[in-house]
Amino acid sequence: MTLYEPFLEGARELLTRRLELAPYPIAEGFERKEAVVRGEAVVTTSTAWHSPKLRQIRAAHVQGGSALQVLNFVISPRLEYDLPFFGADLVTLPGGHLIALDMQPLFRDDPAYRAKYTEPILPLFEAHRAHLEWGGDFPEEARPFFSPAFLWTRPKETSLVETRVFAAFVDYLNAYLDFVERAEPVVHPEGLAAVEQAQLRYLHYRAEKDPARGMFRRFYGPQWTEEYIHGFLFDLERRREAFHR
Ligand code: DBV
């Protein structure tokens, strides 16, 4: 078992139990990609589903030995819902572990939005934060996209990832699925337009600033990497026509 396999399997199990899941199309060449880097195979696998309220639930899983493990897991709601994004960036590199876990708000500075989607999870955040030291600086420009419940930590012990981080991941995902269960479609045209603009802003930022770009380019080349980023990881810009009713 590699470090993040239980996270992906745990998510699969929860999502299967709580949602009506269907497979989300993955273009040829993205389901599995392999390169040999300094004698070691680095394999990237993609998994994706959708559900009646969630446009894309997707995972990118990079496995390249004990010093290179990444699970990036993002849920993008359908454009009819004002739900936040679910975002987990679980990264293990030679320098150590880096963990980002959040429900990223569409309208961070709107008090009503905050009351609806952030305040209810603050108790969870506080409970987990007590065991996971703040990870320190992160890019200033990313700040607007994170919620006040952003768990950001660089655990020194792998056992902390397997226990506390895993528990936080499951709790955040369950809390997210509670929001999904209760979500009602937005009906006002201005509301729908605001949701779409906020989703595009976020996904555009993620695609432009993807911290994995350098790594993927080194392993698999620039052409595959750009296609993977824009055609799979953050694909709304390219596919938005398909998601308009
Ligand atoms: N990050 C991704 C995707 C990845 C991925 C799609 C498939 O968005 C991996 C892989 N993240 C990844 C890797 C690193 C990070 C770092 C490989 C290490 C980069 C390196 O050190 O070379 C949160 N991820 C980071 C960092 C942050 C995040 C803050 C460290 C700072 C940095 O180097 O940029 N997750 C990241 C982020 C958002 C998020 C910025 C949202 C706005 O959800």
CA 119 to centroid of ligand 1, rounded, Å: 25
Residue nearest (by alpha carbon) to ligand 1 atom 34: 211
SS3 146: coil
Nearest-10 crossing angle of helices 166-182, 5-18: 20
Do 190 and 181 touch, CB atoms closer than 8 A?
no
Do 20 and 28 touch, CB atoms closer than 8 A?
no
CA 113 to centroid of ligand 1, rounded, Å: 25
pLDDT at residue 242, as a whole number: 86
**Hey, which residues does 69 pair with through a beta bridge?**
63, 92
CA 212 to centroid of ligand 1, rounded, Å: 6
CA 188 to centroid of ligand 1, rounded, Å: 34
pLDDT at residue 240, as a whole number: 87
Per-residue pLDDT of the chain (245 residues; tens, 9 = 90+): 999 999 999 999 999 999 999 999 999 999 999 999 989 999 999 999 999 999 999 999 999 999 999 999 999 999 999 999 999 999 999 999 999 999 999 999 999 999 999 999 999 999 999 999 999 998 889 998 999 999 999 999 999 999 999 999 999 999 999 999 999 999 999 999 999 999 999 999 999 999 999 999 999 999 999 999 999 999 999 998 888 75
Residue nearest (by alpha carbon) to ligand 1 atom 35: 89
Report residues whose beta carbon is within 6 angstroms of any ligand 1 atom.
60, 70, 72, 87, 89, 91, 98, 100, 138-139, 142, 145, 206, 210-212, 215, 233
Tokens of 174: 């369950």
Do 117 and 77 touch, CB atoms closer than 8 A?
no
pLDDT at residue 245, as a whole number: 59
